[in-house]
C-alpha cells in the first residue's frame, strides 16, 4: 500500500491553504508530542490513566465489550441481524480499570470506547490539548478514544478529522471516497456506530465473495502512528483503524466547513432510497439530471436568472430557511 504523505508540523495558514484544499490524507509526525497526556503515556499506561482519571467526570458513556474470540474485530454477526459485541455504560474510571487489569493477557476481552466527547466527560483536559494548526474558535467536536487491541471496520465520517495518537501504536488505512463501489458496504440504516461500514476484513479479504475489493486495495494509503503523531483525514475518506497494543488512546478533532446547522446528507440518501430508486429507468434518469443541475452544479448556478427574493429553497441557507424546509419535509413525511 502507498504510504500516506508526511509533513512536518506547520502553522494554521499553511495547513488551511495547502493541505486541506488537496483533500488528501496527511501525517504530521510529533505534532502533539508536547501534550502532557502524550508525555505521561511514555511513562506507561498507569501514568496516563492517572491523568485521565483526574480530568474525568462520573458521567457514563457507551462502551463496547466482546469475548476474546472476536480478536478485537468489532463487527456484525454472521447473518447481519446483530453484532458480535455488547454495548454497556461505563465511566472513564471504570473503563481504565478494565483495560489496565487485562494488560499482558494473551486472550483479553475486547474493550473499546470511541467518540467520547471530551467537553462533557473530561472538560479540564481541554486547555492541555492545543493544536495551533486548527482554528479552535470554529465549532469542533473533540473526542477521546480508549481501548485495547481493537479493529474498527472501514467507514467514513462526514466531517474533516485530525486524529492525534496519545498512547499505543495505530495502523490506519485509507481509501478515497470513489472506492465506495469496491468496498462492499453493509446496511445503511443498521450500523455499528452510526456510519455505514465495509464488510470486508481488510487483513484477510475474501476476494471470492468480494472480488472488487482488490481494486480498492490498489488505491489504499496506510500509515502507522505512534504517540504524538497526528493524521489528517479529509471528509468522506474511508478509513480502517487497527490498535496495535494492549492499551491505546487517541484524541481527535472533527470539524466541517459548511455553515451550521450541520445536517447530515445521509438522511437525504435514506429519503432518496424510498422515493427514487424504484422509478422507471427514464424517469430515474430525469431525476438524476435534476440533481446534477440543482445540487451538483453541472450547469453552473441554477438560479442565477432569479432575483434573490424568488430563489426559495435554493436561496442562501439561513437558519430560517432550514427551519422552513424541515417543516415542509416533516409535514410531507406525516402523510400516509
> What is the reported pLDDT for 59?
96
Cα within 13 Å of Cα(194), Cβ side: 6
Does 269 have pLDDT greater than 60? yes
More confident residue, 294 or 262: 294
Does 261 have pLDDT greater than 70? no
Residues 113, 145 contacting (CB under 8 angstroms): yes
Judged on CB neighbours under 10 Å (0-12, 13-18, 19+), 120 is exposed
* Confidence tier at 10 by pLDDT (50, 70, 90): very high
The DSSP symbol for 192 reads S
Residues 6+ apart with CB under 8 A from 183: 154, 175, 198, 200, 213, 216, 238
Residues 232, 18 contacting (CB under 8 angstroms): no
Provide mean pLDDT across the span 203-231. Answer: 97
3-state secondary structure of 98: helix
Provide mean pLDDT across the span 123-137. Answer: 94
Q: What is 265-299 written as a DSSP string? A: HHHHHHHHHHHTTTS-HHHHHHHHHHHHHHTS-TT
- What sign does the CA torsion over 143, 84, 226, 104 have? positive
Can you tell me the distance from the alpha carbon of 160 to that of 137, in angstroms, rounded to the nearest whole number? 15
Per DSSP, what are the bridge partners of residue 172?
A: 223, 241
Domain boundaries for CATH 2.60.120.650 within the chain: 2-255
> What is the reported pLDDT for 328?
86
Residues 10, 219 contacting (CB under 8 angstroms): no
**Can you read off the three cell numbers belonging to residue 328?**
415542509
> What is the reported pLDDT for 309?
84
Angle at 150 between CA 201 and CA 20, to 5 degrees: 80
Does 262 have pLDDT greater than 80? no
Residues 166, 48 contacting (CB under 8 angstroms): yes
* Residue 11, number of CB atoms within 10 A of its CB: 10
User: pLDDT per residue over 11-32, tens digit each?
Assistant: 999 999 999 999 999 999 999 9
Give the architecture (CATH level 2) of 2-255: Sandwich (2.60)
Provide mean pLDDT across the span 193-209. Answer: 94
Provide mean pLDDT across the span 160-165. Answer: 97
Does 33 have pLDDT greater than 90? yes
More confident residue, 259 or 179: 179
Provide mean pLDDT across the span 242-260. Answer: 89
Residues 95, 146 contacting (CB under 8 angstroms): yes
DSSP H or E run through 221: strand 221-225
Does 260 have pLDDT greater than 60? no
> What is the reported pLDDT for 263?
65
Can you tell me the distance from the alpha carbon of 116 to that of 102, in angstroms, rounded to the nearest whole number? 21
Q: Which residue from 221, 201, 227, 187 is spatially nearest to 37, judged by alpha carbons?
A: 227
The DSSP symbol for 222 reads E
Judged on CB neighbours under 10 Å (0-12, 13-18, 19+), 205 is middle
* Confidence tier at 259 by pLDDT (50, 70, 90): low
Does 257 have pLDDT greater than 90? no
- Is the pTM higher than 0.85? yes
Residues 176, 207 contacting (CB under 8 angstroms): no
Beta strands per DSSP E along 4-97: 6-7, 26-28, 61-66, 86-90
> What is the reported pLDDT for 265?
86
Can you tell me the distance from the alpha carbon of 171 to that of 242, in angstroms, rounded to the nearest whole number? 5
Q: How many residues does the chain have?
A: 336
User: pLDDT per residue over 41-82, tens digit each?
Assistant: 999 999 999 999 999 999 999 999 999 999 999 999 999 999
Amino acid at each position: 500500500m502507498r504510504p500516506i504523505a508526511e509533513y512536518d508540523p506547520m502553522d494554521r495558514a499553511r495547513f488551511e491553504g495547502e493541505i486541506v484544499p488537496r483533500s488528501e490524507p496527511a501525517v504530521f509526525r510529533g505534532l502533539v508530542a508536547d501534550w502532557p497526556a502524550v508525555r505521561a503515556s511514555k511513562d506507561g499506561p498507569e501514568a496516563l490513566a492517572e491523568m485521565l482519571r483526574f480530568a474525568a467526570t462520573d458521567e457514563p458513556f457507551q462502551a463496547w465489550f466482546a469475548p476474546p474470540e472476536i480478536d478485537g474485530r468489532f463487527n456484525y454477526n454472521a447473518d447481519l441481524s446483530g453484532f458480535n459485541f455488547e454495548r454497556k455504560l461505563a465511566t472513564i474510571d471504570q473503563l481504565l480499570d478494565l483495560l489496565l487489569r487485562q494488560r499482558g493477557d494473551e486472550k483479553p476481552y475486547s474493550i473499546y470506547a470511541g467518540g467520547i466527547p471530551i467537553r462533557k466527560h473530561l472538560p479540564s483536559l481541554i486547555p492541555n490539548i492545543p493544536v495551533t494548526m486548527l482554528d479552535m474558535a470554529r465549532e469542533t467536536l473533540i473526542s477521546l478514544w480508549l481501548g485495547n487491541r481493537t479493529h474498527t471496520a472501514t467507514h467514513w465520517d462526514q466531517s474533516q478529522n485530525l486524529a492525534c495518537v496519545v498512547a499505543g501504536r495505530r495502523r490506519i488505512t485509507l481509501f478515497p471516497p470513489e472506492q465506495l463501489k469496491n468496498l462492499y458496504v453493509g446496511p445503511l440504516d443498521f450500523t455499528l456506530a452510526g456510519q455505514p461500514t465495509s464488510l470486508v476484513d481488510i487483513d484477510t479479504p475474501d476476494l471470492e465473495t468480494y472480488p472488487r475489493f482488490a481494486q480498492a486495495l490498489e488505491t489504499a494509503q496506510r500509515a502507522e502512528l505512534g504517540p504524538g503523531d497526528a493524521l489528517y483525514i479529509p471528509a468522506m475518506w474511508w478509513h480502517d483503524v487497527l490498535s496495535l497494543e494492549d492499551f491505546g488512546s487517541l484524541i481527535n478533532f472533527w470539524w466541517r466547513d459548511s455553515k451550521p446547522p450541520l445536517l447530515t446528507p445521509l438522511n437525504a440518501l435514506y429519503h432518496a432510497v424510498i422515493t427514487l430508486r424504484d422509478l422507471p429507468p427514464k424517469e430515474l434518469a430525469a431525476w438524476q439530471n435534476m440533481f446534477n443541475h440543482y445540487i451538483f452544479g453541472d450547469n453552473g448556478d441554477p438560479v442565477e436568472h432569479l432575483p434573490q427574493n424568488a430563489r426559495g429553497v435554493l436561496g442562501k441557507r439561513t437558519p430560517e430557511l432550514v427551519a422552513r424546509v424541515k417543516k415542509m419535509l416533516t409535514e410531507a413525511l406525516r402523510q400516509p
